[in-house]
Structure formats: structure tokens, C-alpha cells
Structure 1
Amino acid sequence: MFKIVRGRLNIWQVTGSILFMIVQVVVSLYLPSITSDIVNNGIAKGQTGYIVQAGIKMIFISILTVLASIGNVYLASKASQGLGQKLRSDLFRKVLFFSHDEFDAFDTSSLTTRTTNDVMQIQNVIVMMLRMMIMAPIMLVGAGVMAYQKNAEMTKIFIIVIPALVIVVGTVMYFAVPLFKAMQKKTDRLNLIFREGLTGVRVIRAFRQDSFEQNRFKGANDDYTNNAIKVYTIVAMMVPFVTLIMSGTNIGITWLGSHYIAQQTMQVGNLIAFMTYAMQILMSFMILSLIFVLIPRASASAARIQEVFSKESQIDTVAKPAKIKGDASLEFNDVNFRYLGAEKLALTNINFKMEKGQTLAIIGGTGSGKSTLINLIPRFYDSETGTVRINGTDVKALNTEDINRQVSMVPQKAVLFKGTIKSNMLYGKADATDDEIWHALEVAQADGFVKELEGQLDAEVEQDGDNFSGGQKQRLAIARALVKDASVYVFDDSFSALDFKTDLNLRTALKADEKIQESVVVIVGQRISTVADADDILVLDNGNMVGLGTHDELKENNKTYQEIIESQIREANNG
């Protein structure tokens, strides 16, 4: 835990919190002595003036205790919340720069839990450390010394009491700690099912699997609940046992103290003070015990967070001297690629070169490697062998940020963010003008329906663009990519939700656009009509490059391409 805390905790806030805590403990230890003096020197001797004087001193010290406590709580909260803020920011930044291989190592629900619940566990323990864990040992030692000063003989009672407390707390920790650790994994499971239910609600309803999903969630929820009930019941059982021990201690102190008072070897005030110090000793021990119960859960959370931080990227993202320059071009030279841990290559011996103003279309059956190929362009993955070059420079010699400035990509699933149309367009280019945005919308065939919206560019976009149809979302995603100034524009099956007329108009507008004419365009498509007018069409089959040429050349000479054409003709005729 200290590994992820180091460098993220504000040292001045921690120091200030500790100083306030020391002041609070010192004055708290002094109060029972004043009470003792009031009883011994004021009440017993009838000295009203002494009682008033000591009472004023108690009020002053009590106010000082309150102020020190407020200062400690404030700075401890600032330190713990600041730590949580930095951890969440660092986790989010780390995840944003994950390659696809790193994403595959963690599921989304687990990353969500690590960024929220796990961070919260660490925050809670840090604030308890700064509030209680530092206070408890100081109070324990201080109260022990003060109690010894009041009556050394009576401190022997702790030889019996403290071992009894150790047995109770040790037993509770033995059974509770494993259950606390298990709660984090059960939280992951709960989040996973809940997230799947939210994102897949339409599929669930379409297949009438409401009851099945409810039962699945109920199972995970009950498992989490039963675990929580069990662990907190075990922890709660500690309270009556400790209360019994503390009550027994009070009885023992009172019984022994009464004998000493009867023998006139101890004053009544000293007995009252000793009882207070005894309670402070036992409470301090109790606080330490509770903290040691919670620390393992926080340690488990810290280990899960550190697992994310220590995940080494398979892609080198360190800045290097090479920079992308020159005219736009895209080249694959003897590229082979396999997924992490896979035995078989996903792509084998891919070769092509495209210059500025040219369009490359990629076509093939499902699972042929189309999306895998284009994921190598922005370095979502790195090739196993061979080179991928943008504008003549090997992408492995570049920082991923440099590549992302030159590659604009539209993924298969159109993703829009909550905000406005304009805010989504600015993802492509932060300083884009309204004219640039409208031009991109026009090329993407999206300007028509945007002009009909209330607010137009300021029209609201719901989360994931749920207030737009599939085709509208796709066109907005394309427009966002076109706003960006790039050397390579990649469209990963991004025209699939468009009708044939809109598809044709969009491709025609792309060819006519001056900015696009200075770039390389890569289109992944399923329909022959989408890829037919490309300068080159790359045909993939099971990760192998089985054809490269124009539509007419492949139609005449390439068997795989011919089969795709025939299957689409049959589908059209059957339709």
C-alpha cells in the first residue's frame, strides 16, 4: 500500500494532521488529572475557589482539544481525499494509454471497481491512520504512564485484561480478514453483471431473458450480501466481548480502589482518574484492533490498484527523436501479427503501399483480420515482424501521441459522448471553427439532419448518442474524424448503417474533398459497392492477403473476391 501512497500524499497536510493529533492527545491526557485535583483538592477540602479555577482551566483545555481535533480531521480529510483524487486520475490516465493487450487483461467492471471502490478503501484507511492509528499508540502509552503515576499497583490489572483483548481481537481478525478480501472480488462480479444488464437491456428484452438476468443478478447480489453480513456480524461480535472486558475492568478497578481508599493509600480523585486512563488504554487498544481488521482489505485494494499501475505496456510509448514528416503515405512491409498468447498468426505477410490521394479498401469474410490489420496503423497493437510506415517512418520509431496526430479513425461501433454535437466534433480537433465542423458534417452527409435540430451544433447529445439513429450516429462519428487534420483516415466498416445512396454520396464527397486528396484513405467494408471504386482493394482470408488490385482486376482473377461478389448477388436476389 505504501508503494502507491508514496508521492501522492501531501506531506504538509500529513505533518499538520499529526501535530494537531499530538496536541489533542496530550491535552486529553491532562484532563483526568485536573478532574482528580478537583476531587482531591477542591471537593474533599471544600475549596470552591480552587474548583472554579480548575474548572476554567478544564474549559480552556477542552476548547483546545476541540480545535486540535477539528484541525486534525480537516487536514486528514484533505490528505486522504487528495490521495484519492490523484489515484483516480493516475488510474484513468494509465488506462487511457493501455494498448488493446492491456485492456484484454482487465475487464471493464474490474477497472471500474479498482478506480472507485478500491480507491475508497485506501482513502478510508489513510484517514483512519491519520485520525486513529497515530492517536491510539500515543494514547495507549500516555494513559499507561499517567495511570502508573496514579497507582502503580493497580496497573497490574492490565496483565489480565490486555491478553483477553488480544485473544478476542485475534479471533475476530482470523475469521474476518479473508471475508473482507473476498468482498472486492464479489464487488467486481456484481458490477460486471449490472453493467452487462444495462448495456444489453435491449437484447435481454428481445430474447425475453428478463427473469434469467434477474436471477443472475440476484445470485451475485445475495452472494455479496451474505458475505458482508457474515463479516460484519463477526466484527460486531467483538463489541459485546470488549464491552464485557471493559466493564469487568471497571469493576476490578473499583473493587481494588475501594480497598486502597479504605486503607488511605489512595485518594478518591486518583481512583476516578485511574478509571478514566484505564478506559483510554482499552479504547486505544480497541481502535488499533479495528484498524488492523480494515488494513488487510485496504491492502488487497492497493494490490489490485498496483496491478494496474505495474502492467507494462507491450507497446513502447517513450518519446523518440523520429517525427512523422513528408507527404502522406501508408506502407505495410512483410507484416506478421499474433495476439498475445495465441499460437496462430492473426495476420500473415501483409504487403502494400498507398500514396497521398489514394484509397485502400479492405474486404474479407468475418474473422478474416480486417479490423486487426487497421488496428496496427494507430499502434493499438504492434506487429510481431515487419514494418508499418506512416509517411515513410516506421511507427515503432514514434511516440503513440505523434501517430495519433496523423491518424484519424472511425471504429466499427460509432461512439458519441454526452454533450453537444459541437463538443463531440471538437474531439477531432480542439480548435476547429464552426465552418470546419459544418464542412466535415457536409462531407459526412450529416449536415441535413443537424440543421433540422434545435440548436444545430449546440444540439444535445445523450450518453452514447442514444437520441440518434444508428445511421445518424455513424455519420456524426465520420464527421468527427474528418474534422481532424491527418495523414491517414481509417474507416472501419463505418458505412454499414448507411443506405446505398448515402454511402455513394459520402464516398463521392470524400474523393472530392481537397484535404482528403492530400491524405491516404483506408476503408474496411463488407459491401462490394462500398469498396468498388477504391484505388486498390486488399482481400483477406483467415489473416492471409489473398489479393490486391482494382475492382475489375480482382473480379477477373481473384477467387475469394469472386465468391464475395456471388454471395452478395445471391443475397440481393433472395431479398
Structure 2
Amino acid sequence: MIIQVFCDLNLPTLTSNMINKGVITGDIDYIWRIGGKMLIFALFSLLAASGNVFFASTQAQKFGTKLREELFTKVLSFGSHEIDQFGASSLITRTTNDVLQIQNVTIMALRMMIQSPTMLVGAGIMAYLNEPRLTTVFLISLPLLALAVGCVMYFAVPLFKSLQQKTDRINLVFREGLTGVRVIRAFRRDQFEQDRFKVANKSYTDTAIKAFSLVSIMFPIMTLVLNGTNIGIIWIGGKLISTRSMEVGNLVSFMNYAAMILFSFMMLSMVFVFIPRAQAAASRIQDVLQTPDSVKDLAAADLQTQATHELAFKQVNYRYDHAEKLALQNINFSLKSGQTLAIIGGTGSGKSTLVNLLPRLYDIEKGKITLDGTNIAKITQNSLHREISFVQQRAFLFHGTIRSNLKYGKPDATNDQMWHALEIAQAQGFVSALPGGLDAPVEHGGANFSGGQRQRLAIARAVIKPAAVYVFDDSFSALDFKTDAQLRQALKADSQINQGIVIIVAQRIATVTQADEILVLDGGVVVGQGTHEYLKATNSTYQEIMHSQLREGEI
């Protein structure tokens, strides 16, 4: 940048010399000599400018790459509380659009924010040394330009900040429209969603038009001031030339320096107009990066792998943020390898909340959860997650193939192990019928499979992983009774799974009857605990669930 500015600042002086000492005197040799120097300076300026653009662009892109990596890593460390706090749409905007705003300003900073002040100061000094009497013109033009820039920034900056929030809104509406497209069609709400997007889109468009219209005013204002400055310079310079107190070449070079000064001032002003938008984006990114994780590793200890496992909940209480009432209260149970715990209860009774405490998606308020005798709060999350295989309530598959999805559970899994996991999950039949088998494509979220197929593939991904605890959070709900029964029998017969502990969250009585122990939840409280036969005979809540699902003869 220094080389580029140095070369550019010397060109008007060389032009002045060429006119004063070559053109006026008719010295052709001198004109060729100075012309050659000007070409050399212009060539070096071109090379320096190209290098500056290359390095500025490269560093800005690398900066954006690192920033996106930091954001993605941070978001992966978030617990459910942080995800809910920001929202998926806002996190996507912050990782893409906000980073792009900072990248753009970084390029401008590495070029214009260095070049413009340097050029402004350098051209001012050269203009003053060249002809100090003409610098009085800038006492009018520069304040006018500063006033115009100040007014534009005053009105444009809030609009640019608002644009980031309106981008969030567009992403939110668009994302909801994509993910909820089946619901929208089922309830014939197409027009309502189109209108909702139209409102968000129009709001963004109107704000953007206002912001960029204000910024675009800068260019005609600059042209007006530049032309007015040139008129003033020519008017004063003409008088000086007519009295032979200034040479023509000095007037030409001064006009070039004046253009450099005003253009540099303009470019610097443009940077300051766009900085607030990047500042808003940077603030939003900082909010994500500086958000403390609600679930932290209190110690760096790893869980020591054992041949047999034991899991215990001891007087566990949990409360959602800002909630008055406990979501779970006084939960107690213990399990050993080979045992199966079933959790049943009405909607909102706390079943999923309970199992989400195990991998520390949330941290408990009171009590203790131990795995193999160690408090899970004192185990690193990475070590804890190695020992837990989890099937979420909503079966989610990643874009790729069936093979790549199964390898999420066990990266080094062989074909035989994959087919064995699919056999346990009762998915072998439909997978083998697919073109490509294990290499059959999977769309984002498993959209090219039915609900039952997605659940079985998610179960296969879980059972292929060697773990101390296998959690199935209402993951049999899309299966028919026959497939459900066959899957549970296959789980019980598998030697790897029998070495661990199985926890099944279910809505159906038929799914839980064979469990070694059943927890009956109601309003976050355990209202029944024991075997199926014991609860069937003694627990009124369990009996109500049975009577709601089965006829008297089936009971």
C-alpha cells in the first residue's frame, strides 16, 4: 500500500514538471524522459495495487473461515438452553450473513482504511508544497463534504443495524416454511405463509432501499463538491497564471492532488458508513462466542471403562430456566448391566427431560447422577458421551448414505456389523431392497424415508455403538406392534446390548411390559415404580394408562 501511494503521489508532480519544463519549452527529450518515469511509477503502482488487493482479499477470506469455524465449534458446544436462547434461524444468519459483512469491511479496512488516510495526508502535503495559495479552496469544500457525510451516516447507520435483524426475520419465516411445508399444505395455509413472508421481505426491502439510497447520495454530492473545488482552483489559479505568479503545470498537478484529497476523504467516509453494519454483525457474533455454556466440564477426569456398568439417580431435581415449578422432583432409581428401565407417563410428565439429563443436555438443580459410581458432573462431556448411545424422540438422519449415517455410531464399523445393527432394528428388509443397499442415499433429515424407516435407521445407528447405556426416547412410536415386539426381543437377545443398560421411554403399555423396572411419571414426580405385574395390581396411574389403551380382555 505504501508503494502504491508513493507512486500515485509522484505522478502529478511529474506531470507538472513535464508541462512546465517540457511542453512549454518544447523540450521533446525531457518529455520522453519524464514520460518514461511516469510509466515506471504507474507500473509499480499497478503491481502494488494488485498485490494489495490479493493479500487483503486472502486475509479477509481466511479471517471469515476462522470466524465460521469458531462459531460452528461454539454452537456444537451449546446445550439446549443456548440453542433455544438464540434460535436456529438467528444462528444460521450469524454464521453466514454476519460473517460476510465483517469480511467485506475487513477488505475495505485493509485497503481503503489504510490507503485513504495515507493518501489524504500525503496529497495534502504535496498540494501545499506545490502551491500553498490554492489550498484555501479546501477550507470550503472539505467542511461541506464532512457535513454531507455526517448527515448521511446519522440516518444510514440505524438502518444498517436494522437490516441485520430483518435478515433474521426473513430466515426465520423461510425456514419455518420449509420445515413445516407439510403442515402448511395440510391446513391449506399456503396463502397465509406467503403473506407472512411477503411482509418480512417487504420490510427488509424498504429498509435496504432507504439505507442504500442514502449512501448513494454520497456520490453525486462528491461529484458536486469535486467539480466546485475544481472551478475554485481554476478560478484562483487562472488569476495567478495571468499575473505570471504561477505556472500552468502547478495548476494541473494541484487539481490532481485536490481530486486525490476529495476522493480519499470520500472513500474514508464510505468505510465509516459500512462499519456500523459490520459492528452490529460483530456484536451479534460476539454474543454467540462469549455466551457461557450452561453445561460445563467441572473436572478433566475421564470415565474409567468397566466390564459391568451401574447407573443411579439419587434425589434428582431439575427446573427449567426461569420456571417456578420443578420439572422433575426427587427421582431415584438404580440399574445394572443387562437391566432394562422403562419410563411411561402422560404427555408433559417429564419423560424426555429425565433421559436428557443423562448426557447432560441439561444440568440438574439438586441431587446426583452416577455412572459406574462416578458423578457424571465430574466427568468430561466427551468421555460421558462415549458411554451413552442415544435415540432422540425425533429421529434425525444426516444427508449422505445409510452407511455414513451408521458410521456416526461406530466410525470403523464393518459391513457385517452394519447389517447386524440393521437386523436388530428391523431395518434389514427395506435397506436390502433399496438400490445400493448400505450406499443408498439419505436426504437431509431422512426426508426420503417414512417415519418408521427413519426411526429404525436411527435405532440401528444407536445399537451399532458399544456403550454403557442405551437410551431410546419414544423411538418406537412409529412402529407397528409386531415390529415393536420383534425389535425389543432382538435388543434383549443381543450380547453387546446386554452388557449395557437399556432405558426405554414409551407411550404404549405393550412396549414397557417386559422391562425389569418401570417408572411411572406424572407432573415430574415418580408416582409408581416396579415391575409390570406390580404396577398393574397396585398403581392407579398405570392402571389408567392400561385402560386407555387396552380392552378388558387384553389387560
With normalisation by structure 1, the TM-score equals 0.95
Unaligned runs of 5+ in 1: 1-20
Structure 1 runs of 4+ with >4 Å offset: 570-573
- Structure 1 letter corresponding to 2:464: V
Could you say if the C-alpha distance between residues 570 and 53 of structure 1 is closer, same or farther in structure 2, counting changes exceeding 3 Å?
Answer: farther
Q: Which residue of 1 aligns with 2:291?
A: 311
Alpha-carbon displacement from aligned partner over 1:384-436 (angstroms, at most 9, x marks no partner): 00011112211100111011100000001110111111001111111111111
Alpha-carbon displacement from aligned partner over 1:191-245 (angstroms, at most 9, x marks no partner): 0000000000110011000110000000000000000111111111222222111
Q: Which residue of 2 aligns with 1:364?
A: 345
Could you say if the C-alpha distance between residues 572 and 106 of structure 1 is closer, same or farther in structure 2, counting changes exceeding 3 Å?
Answer: farther
1:547 aligns with 2:547: no
Superposed counterparts of 1:161-200, under 5 Å: 161-200=141-180
Superposed counterparts of 1:520-531, under 5 Å: 520-531=501-512
Q: Please give the secondary structure, in 2, of the residue aligned with 1:467.
A: coil
1:402 aligns with 2:406: no
| Contact residue 324 and residue 390 of structure 1 kept, 8 A | no
Shift of 1:321: 2.7
Tell me the distance in 2 between the aligned counterparts of 1:493 and 1:146. 78
| Contact residue 298 and residue 378 of structure 2 kept, 8 A | no
Shift of 1:42: 1.2
Q: Which residue of 2 aligns with 1:117?
A: 97
| Contact residue 99 and residue 315 of structure 1 kept, 8 A | yes
Shift of 1:465: 1.0
Alpha-carbon displacement from aligned partner over 1:63-84 (angstroms, at most 9, x marks no partner): 1111101110111111111110
Tell me the distance in 2 between the aligned counterparts of 1:180 and 1:433. 53
- Structure 1 letter corresponding to 2:10: Y
Tell me the distance in 1 between the aligned counterparts of 2:238 and 2:139. 20
Range that drifts further, 370-379 or 261-270: 261-270
Shift of 1:472: 0.8
Q: Please give the secondary structure, in 2, of the residue aligned with 1:387.
A: strand
Tell me the distance in 1 between the aligned counterparts of 2:543 and 2:122. 89
Tell me the distance in 1 between the aligned counterparts of 2:398 and 2:332. 36
Shift of 1:527: 0.5
Tell me the distance in 1 between the aligned counterparts of 2:5 and 2:100. 27
Tell me the C-alpha RMSD between the 2 structures.
1.2
Q: Which residue of 2 aligns with 1:5?
A: none
1:147 aligns with 2:110: no
Q: Which residue of 2 aligns with 1:494?
A: 475
Percent identity (aligned): 58
Q: Which residue of 2 aligns with 1:16?
A: none
In the alignment, which of 340, 353, 358 is matched to residue 321 of structure 2? 340
Tell me the distance in 2 between the aligned counterparts of 1:554 and 1:486. 30
| Contact residue 302 and residue 383 of structure 2 kept, 8 A | no
Q: Please give the secondary structure, in 2, of the residue aligned with 1:313.
A: coil
Range that drifts further, 426-435 or 168-177: 426-435
Superposed counterparts of 1:456-495, under 5 Å: 456-495=437-476
Tell me the distance in 2 between the aligned counterparts of 1:162 and 1:174. 18
1:375 aligns with 2:356: yes
Tell me the distance in 2 between the aligned counterparts of 1:486 and 1:48. 89
Superposed counterparts of 1:238-387, under 5 Å: 238-317=218-297, 319-326=299-306, 327-387=308-368
Tell me the distance in 2 between the aligned counterparts of 1:395 and 1:318. 10
With normalisation by structure 2, the TM-score equals 0.98
Shift of 1:319: 4.8
In the alignment, which of 48, 51, 56 is matched to residue 28 of structure 2? 48
Q: Which residue of 2 aligns with 1:69?
A: 49
Unaligned runs of 5+ in 2: none
Alpha-carbon displacement from aligned partner over 1:513-536 (angstroms, at most 9, x marks no partner): 000110000000000001110000
| Contact residue 311 and residue 369 of structure 2 kept, 8 A | yes
Tell me the distance in 2 between the aligned counterparts of 1:444 and 1:390. 26
Q: Please give the secondary structure, in 2, of the residue aligned with 1:450.
A: helix
Shift of 1:318: 5.4
Tell me the distance in 1 between the aligned counterparts of 2:158 and 2:269. 16
- Structure 2 letter corresponding to 1:204: I
Tell me the distance in 1 between the aligned counterparts of 2:330 and 2:547. 27
1:513 aligns with 2:481: no
Q: Which residue of 1 aligns with 2:199?
A: 219
| Contact residue 33 and residue 273 of structure 1 kept, 8 A | yes
The count of residues paired between Structure 1 and Structure 2 equals 553
| Contact residue 324 and residue 393 of structure 1 kept, 8 A | no
- Structure 1 letter corresponding to 2:367: G
In the alignment, which of 65, 72, 79 is matched to residue 99 of structure 1? 79
Alpha-carbon displacement from aligned partner over 1:508-558 (angstroms, at most 9, x marks no partner): 000000001100000000000011100001000000011111100000011
